[in-house]
Amino acid sequence: MWRNCVRLARGLGHSAVLRLDPKVSGCGVVRGLSPTVSCSPTAPCSLLWNSVTWLSQARQSKDYALPNSSWSQGMMDLYNRFLEMCKDGTWKRIPSYGNSVDHIPESLKLVPEKEQKGTRLFSRNMDTEGLGFEYAMFLNPSEKRMVCLFQPGPYLAGHPGFAHGGSTATIIDSTVGGCAIFVAGRVMTANLSINYRNPIPLGSVVLVDSKVDQVEGRKVFLSCQVKSIDGQTLHAEATALFIQLNSTKSLQEQMSSQ
């Protein structure tokens, strides 16, 4: 497993048929916020997370952050727009798996994590596509910024026709959390404050845009806005505080030591 991490750190490519191929071009993929790995933007790639926190070990694990038939045209257009921005390395696509334990390598798992069985990442808990959380995330390392393309399904309903505020909080927490992981490694939410401005219609597509504002020791302060695709409607805005759990090096530190 550690050898796989080293390979990823060296930026080896990964083809659609799971053969390492440095000649494959396309969108850079952050495998658990690892250094860029080239991947065909149209191929469903089975991905590995790196040693920060989200390293997947099973090639057979399904990447739920890839397009499926439930995605609207607006979701696809936004996704393809970010894939284009990935080509020069400015942005990196983030994969997402159904089990949170699968995102951590055996060598780095804590004892409670190794003993967990039958768990499921609840933001990926739907066996039928399009009913719950449909989303894909992209990271801009230089700006310490993470965005999430979010399409809430009918099982996230609150007030008739609109997404429940708790689902909005979940996707905000997941997005700012991923951003905090890039800077500090293992983190947990200490505070999340949200102002809801306009409800999100079920089935619509919004952009969750987060960034790191400040780092003080083990504290990572972030801000986030949830807007419509055209940027004209502000659905929610938030601030968050995450705390680094241990001394696990962040991706930022790993990259600077290369």
Nearest of 136, 129, 120 to residue 154 by alpha carbon: 129
Q: What is the mean pLDDT of residues 199-205?
A: 98
- Collapse the DSSP code of 185 into the 3-class scheme (helix H, G, I; strand E, B; otherwise coil) and give the result: coil
Alpha-carbon span 97 to 44, nearest angstrom: 13
Q: Based on the structure, what is the number of domains in the chain?
A: 1
pLDDT at 31 over 80: no
Which residue type occupies 141?
P
Give pLDDT, residue 121: 85
Phi-psi region of 165 (alpha: psi -120 to 50; beta: other; left: phi over 0): alpha
- Collapse the DSSP code of 74 into the 3-class scheme (helix H, G, I; strand E, B; otherwise coil) and give the result: helix
pLDDT at 224 over 80: yes
Phi, psi values for residue 65, rounded to 5°:
-90, 10
Q: What is the average pLDDT score of the chain?
A: 77
Domain holding 189, by residue range, is 2-256
Give pLDDT, residue 103: 60
Candidate from 18-32, 87-101, 115-129 with smallest mean pLDDT? 18-32
Active site residue 173: yes
Percent of the chain with pLDDT over 70: 65
pLDDT band at 4 (very low <50, low <70, confident <90, very high): very low
Give pLDDT, residue 166: 97
Judging by DSSP bridges, how do beta strands 37-39 and 27-29 pair with one another?
antiparallel
How many other CB atoms sit within 10 Å of the CB of residue 217? 8
pTM of the model: 0.75
Active-site choice (102, 173, 209, 230): 173
Q: What are the C-alpha distances in Å from 17 to residues 1, 44, 111?
A: 20, 9, 34
Q: What are the C-alpha distances in Å from 196 to residues 101, 123, 168?
A: 31, 20, 9
Give pLDDT, residue 8: 36
pLDDT at 109 over 70: no
pLDDT band at 161 (very low <50, low <70, confident <90, very high): very high
39: CATH: 3.10.129.10
Nearest of 55, 136, 66, 64 to residue 101 by alpha carbon: 55
Alpha-carbon span 85 to 27, nearest angstrom: 8
Q: What is the mean pLDDT of residues 204-231?
A: 97
Rg (CA), the chain: 17
